[in-house]
Chains A and B, each alone.
Chain A
């Protein structure tokens, strides 16, 4: 491709025409990484860790999926806002497309975190759901994601819908630090929540490995699905351009 001494022009890929084939090449790589890392992380989590913890039994192992999806749900929101801000400032078409592609994967991660959390909550706390600060703010995150997607598809003019939904995403960013910090207090007497403190300080290292590797795998999965969705959005929005009409997959 490029000789090593040649500078890569990154801005080249901000054009959908150049980004489309690049994304197509990257997607299989991210899928492979995702399958390998999620497989390794879950294998480690299920077979290399203790069956019984100090207070929890086997069911604690849902942590590998729960923590990974919850982290990705919050992280993808930040990524989505970053794309939306770049779009607002530089008026680049591709950034808005990336933002809306990220929103759907973020929503999926939020739903996985809520569902696995409910299952875990039923077995350990004794309830599927409680209006605890962490759970409630996480539900609000889901609604913001859905609101973003709804707003985007409610306005027909893509330029306007991109800007309106980007603003919504920016305002909604306020909830992410709240989810992360609001219920974190070290004293169990004072902790005004049912959800535990989010801390990795007292996690045994094999459990930590399972959690971190699975999270990395979820991240690669997010890359793969976001790029796939971005390619679809590009095709849809640029369908009247000449480069799209020349694509092999369009003319089949």
Chain B
């Protein structure tokens, strides 16, 4: 066998192995355990007691309450499948923190069944739609189409072209 062919086989084999490694890492990282726990996992006791972890989920609509005397705020994190955990925090909440939106908070479960968070982060999704356009679409009970033509947006938002 020519040395060059040997080298080609070596490189192809290496590539196959790298591909396999990559697939395995990706698969391992799909599991939620890598980064955060859902309310369901916490309620079914899959999270060790007293450990610090990240709790991910949506902020339940109408659940946000701020204390009148202290800095403390409370809200309910839900997975929209009936699993809910109340979060207590006295930290500054990020700009994007909103009811109905995703959040990730880090802290511990207290003995009283409340989650005491040291840090609350807001997630944002991969949607980049002008606010006015979204309102129009929502009013018409339409989902935003996958690719909206630029001229329509300009017409709706009154933007100069």
Q: Tell whether, in the assembled complex, residue B121 and residue A182 are in contact, meaning their CB atoms are under 8 Å apart.
A: no
Complex alpha-carbon distance, A183 and B56, angstroms: 14
Complex alpha-carbon distance, A130 and B23, angstroms: 24
Residues of B94-150 contacting chain A, CB below 8 A: 94-98, 101-102, 104, 119-134, 144, 146-150
Identify the stretch in A1-9, A28-36, A153-161, A191-199 within 8 Å (CB) of chain B at 4 or more residues.
A191-199
For B15, the chain A residues whose CB sits under 8 A away are 85, 170, 173
Q: Tell whether, in the assembled complex, residue B148 and residue A204 are in contact, meaning their CB atoms are under 8 Å apart.
A: yes
Decide if the interface of chain B is mainly helix, strand, loop or mixed.
Answer: mixed
Question: Contacts A124-B95, A133-B29, A204-B153 hold; do A188 and B58 have CB atoms under 8 A apart?
Answer: yes
Q: Tell whether, in the assembled complex, residue A53 and residue B130 are in contact, meaning their CB atoms are under 8 Å apart.
A: yes
B52 within 8 A of A: no
Complex alpha-carbon distance, A130 and B30, angstroms: 18
Q: Tell whether, in the assembled complex, residue B36 and residue A85 are in contact, meaning their CB atoms are under 8 Å apart.
A: no
Number of interface residues of A (CB under 8 A): 57
Question: Contacts A127-B119, A192-B36 hold; do A178 and B22 have CB atoms under 8 A apart?
Answer: yes
Q: Give, as a whole number of angstroms, the nearest-CB distance from A2 to chain B.
A: 30
Identify the stretch in B3-11, B42-50, B64-72 within 8 Å (CB) of chain A at 4 or more residues.
B3-11
- Using A178-B22, A181-B26, A182-B29 as known contacts, list a sample of 11 further A-B pairs with CB atoms less than 8 Å apart, ordered by residue number in A: A50-B159, A55-B101, A56-B124, A124-B122, A125-B124, A126-B120, A127-B121, A173-B15, A175-B22, A190-B38, A192-B30
